[in-house]
Amino acid sequence: MKGIKAYGADIKASSVPGYVVELLVLNYGSFMNSLKAIASWKQGQVVDLEKHYDEKEARKRFEGAPLIVIDPVDKNRNVAAALSLNQFSRIVAAARAFLRSPSEKFFFRRREKPWSVARLKKMLQKKELVAVKLGYPKEALPDVVWGQIQRLARKIEKQLLLNEFRAMRSEAWTDEKSVIVMVFEVESTVLQKTTKKIGPFVTDEKNSRAFLEKHKRIIAGPRIEQGRWVIEVPRKYTRIENLLRDFLRKEKGVEKRLLRKAINKLCRVLQEKDLIGLFKQNREFAEFLSGYLRGDEEFL
């Protein structure tokens, strides 16, 4: 579990604690039996040593959990509740890979060297990345901060999607001392000045009238395509950095305001040249960004 980065009860890891590992070995009888079982796991897998529930009942009781490991001494507790679907899937994939080709590499993860700056620049020519840099809240517990980071990342992704900057992938990094960096890979960082709005069918008189009255700033149209009203209107944001700056300036939904001061104090939208600069300055960030761009599972 440690070797494939799927161990730990903290929010950052979204993985399994040692107690779950112990229960798995007790349930399946040995290390190899555990791996053979894990290799065939499906989402909603139930491990219940004391048979508190039948599988259907357990899945209903802990609906949505990819892995349900019932605490032998407390049937109301799923001790694998912190495990995310991605980490659950990583464990399954690693078990299959190990059974195909056992190796010590699964246990002792090598610390990958960061890429050269030249290699980084070459990769950035093939991808569209933007990042948000925040200050790290002083005297805040890492678990609490990571929870806030994850919530903020989801809000940012939603704003990107609403404004047609679709995020294909995102990940966060922090030294847990002074800085947080959230990286977003998007389809494009610059959009056309206008966007196409498709309205109701022309035959829908009530909604047609409402659609045409709603949009005042029409660049082109209205016209009819495939029986529907179509107009072209100006985009509010054509550059992703402007959207991010406005959103972070206005964002008020961070619980307990743990990130509020950090956002206001050191908030910056990082473009490629800024990422390269931070890459040069901070080795830990360089290792993170190299791994992010490599984009593979190290155990394969």
Residue 111 lies in a domain: no
- CB of 152 closer than 8 Å to CB of 247: no
- Domain boundary, last residue among 86, 106, 126: 106
Residue 58 lies in a domain: yes
Whether 185 and 200 map to the same domain: the answer is no
Whether 273 and 214 map to the same domain: the answer is no
Write down the pLDDT at residue 262.
62
Whether 201 and 147 map to the same domain: the answer is no
Write down the pLDDT at residue 177.
86
Whether 172 and 278 map to the same domain: the answer is yes
Phi, psi of 5, rounded to the nearest 5 degrees: 60, 40
CATH of the domain at 278: 3.30.70.590
SS3 content of the chain, % helix, strand, coil (to 5): 40, 20, 35
Residue 9 lies in a domain: no
DSSP element (H, E) containing 170: strand 167-174
Partners of 185 in the beta sheet? Answer: 129, 169
CATH of the domain at 202: 3.30.70.1550
Whether 178 and 73 map to the same domain: the answer is no
What is the three-class DSSP state of 270?
A: strand
Write down the pLDDT at residue 255.
47
Write down the pLDDT at residue 13.
81
Whether 23 and 161 map to the same domain: the answer is no
User: Which of 184, 183, 189, 170 lies closest to 242 in space, CA to CA?
Assistant: 189
Whether 81 and 100 map to the same domain: the answer is yes
CATH of the domain at 94: 1.10.1410.30
Whether 168 and 51 map to the same domain: the answer is no
d(CA 80, CA 69): 6
Write down the pLDDT at residue 269.
86
Burial label, 22 (beta-carbon count in 10 A; 0-12, 13-18, 19+): exposed
- Domain boundary, last residue among 76, 106, 136: 106
Whether 257 and 174 map to the same domain: the answer is yes
Residue 159 lies in a domain: yes
pTM assigned to the model:
0.80
Give the tokens for residue 203: 């035959």
Handedness of CA 224, 226, 228, 234 (dihedral sign): negative
What is the three-class DSSP state of 298?
A: coil
Partners of 225 in the beta sheet? Answer: 228
Residue 7 lies in a domain: no
With b for 16 or more beta-carbon neighbours within 10 A and e for fewer, the 130-158 pattern comes to bbbbbbbbeebeeeebbbbbbebbeebbe
Whether 206 and 249 map to the same domain: the answer is no
Write down the pLDDT at residue 192.
92
User: Which of 287, 283, 259, 237 lies closest to 133 in space, CA to CA?
Assistant: 259
User: Which of 49, 42, 9, 58 lies closest to 26 in space, CA to CA?
Assistant: 49
Whether 158 and 287 map to the same domain: the answer is yes
Helices 117-124 and 283-294, interaxial angle, to 10°?
40
For strands 45-47 and 67-71, give the pairing.
Answer: parallel
Domain holding 223, by residue range, is: 194-234
d(CA 175, CA 221): 51
- Domain boundary, last residue among 83, 106, 129: 106
What is the tens place of the pLDDT at every residue in 60-101? 999 999 999 999 999 999 999 999 999 999 999 999 999 999
Low-confidence ranges of the chain (pLDDT < 70): 251-266
Q: How many domains does the chain have?
A: 3
Write down the pLDDT at residue 9.
78
Residue 12 lies in a domain: no
Residue 68 lies in a domain: yes
Residues composing the chain? 300
Whether 148 and 272 map to the same domain: the answer is yes
The full DSSP string for 49-107 is TT--S-HHHHHHHTTT-SEEEEETTEEEEETTTT--HHHHHHHHHHHHHHHHS--GGGT
Residue 8 lies in a domain: no
Give the tokens for residue 269: 């939208």
